[in-house]
Amino acid sequence: MKASVFDYGAGNLHSLSRSLTEVGLTVQVETDAANAVRGSDILVLPGVGAFGQAADRIGEARSILRDALRSGHPCLGICLGMQLFFATSEEGEGTGIGLLEGNVTRLAGRRVPHIGWTRVDDLGEMYFAHTYACRPADPTVVTAWTSHEGEKFAAMIRTSRTIGVQFHPEKSSRLGLALLARLCREVTS
């Protein structure tokens, strides 16, 4: 299976690419959205950085990505990559892909950013590093929840063949790698 990691200038490309390779995917890093979609079995949107800057960098690719995901091209969005499925975020100006209705809001906890290991429903302990969380308008797209300092938020979402995770499976040890492999298989089958 071939994965295109879309390099929009705000991602953890090296560790993510290494992890995808480790779970059996052939990986290419692509800066052109059309090529990333066309040349892959699964598109991966990495995630480290700020929403506004990432949205600006996506720019013209926004409609290419939205159309591809709406037409069923498999995609995995990680952390900021998942947040970019939404049109807006409190984190900054700019327009995300706009695939999902809802918003991305700042966590309300005393200790923000939320960094470290946190239990995700039945998935186990996953590694988080974020200040903002997705709030889908349709709660049925949420497939796993977690909480930080008592605040519940979406840890994983799915719509059609698009899956987003707020945590970093590539940094979540063996359990995270197993989940990464499973999610890639699920979304492409």
The pTM assigned to this predicted structure is 0.95
Residue 10 confidence class, pLDDT cut points 50, 70, 90: confident
User: Is 170 annotated in the active site?
Assistant: yes
Backbone angles phi, psi at 160, to 5 degrees: 55, -120
Name the catalytic one among 114, 134, 148, 170.
Answer: 170
Per-residue model confidence as pLDDT tens digits over 126-182: 999 999 999 999 999 999 999 999 999 999 999 999 999 999 999 999 999 999 999
Per-residue model confidence as pLDDT tens digits over 92-101: 889 999 999 9
Residue 12 has pLDDT above 90, yes or no: no
Higher-pLDDT residue of 189, 155: 155
User: Is 79 annotated in the active site?
Assistant: yes
Per-residue model confidence as pLDDT tens digits over 13-46: 989 999 999 999 999 999 999 999 998 999 999 9
Name the catalytic one among 114, 130, 148, 168.
Answer: 168
User: Is 93 annotated in the active site?
Assistant: no
Kindly give, in sequence order, each residue whose CB lies less than 8 Å from that of residue 103, ignoring residues fewer than 6 positions away: 86, 88, 89, 90, 134, 135
pLDDT value of residue 54: 92
Judge whether 49 and 27 are in contact, CB under 8 Å: no
Q: Which CATH class is domain 2-188?
A: alpha beta
Is 116 strand, coil or helix? strand
Per-residue model confidence as pLDDT tens digits over 43-92: 999 988 899 999 999 988 999 999 999 999 999 999 999 999 999 999 98
List the one residue out of 7, 166, 133 whose CA is nearest residue 179.
Answer: 166
Name the catalytic one among 30, 73, 75, 79.
Answer: 79
pLDDT value of residue 53: 92
What tokens appear for 103 in the block?
Answer: 């918003």
Kind plus residue range of the DSSP H or E element containing 156: strand 151-159
Q: Say if residue 152 is exposed, middle or buried (CB neighbours under 10 Å; 0-12, 13-18, 19+).
A: exposed
